[in-house]
Amino acid sequence: MESHDIRVRALVSGRVQRVYFRQSTVQAVAGIGVTGWVRNLDDGRVEAVFEGSPAAVEQALAYVAHGPEHARVDAVETVSETPEGLTGFAER
């Protein structure tokens, strides 16, 4: 973990489950330098945590703001958190 890394938790609302959202997020962030995870929530939203440089985290957030082809993103709520030094990026 670099000292300039940031961590953002994103809660994505809309038609974001059963549309390949988690898997496409894993693919979209591969190679951009973010770590973290993405999972479905019981209330129909998708939750994702991104850690990395501000530019990499912004790129990941830009992806979840629209998601894959069949998704419909209505809102993305974000909360800044303290980085934990996560490694890798996984679907939970």
Q: Is 72 one of the annotated active-site residues of the chain? A: no
- Active-site residue (options: 15, 22, 45, 72): 22
Q: Is 45 one of the annotated active-site residues of the chain? A: no
What burial class does residue 54 get, using C-beta atoms within 10 Å of its C-beta: 0-12 exposed, 13-18 middle, 19+ buried? exposed
- Active-site residue (options: 18, 39, 40, 72): 40
Active site (catalytic) residues: 22, 40
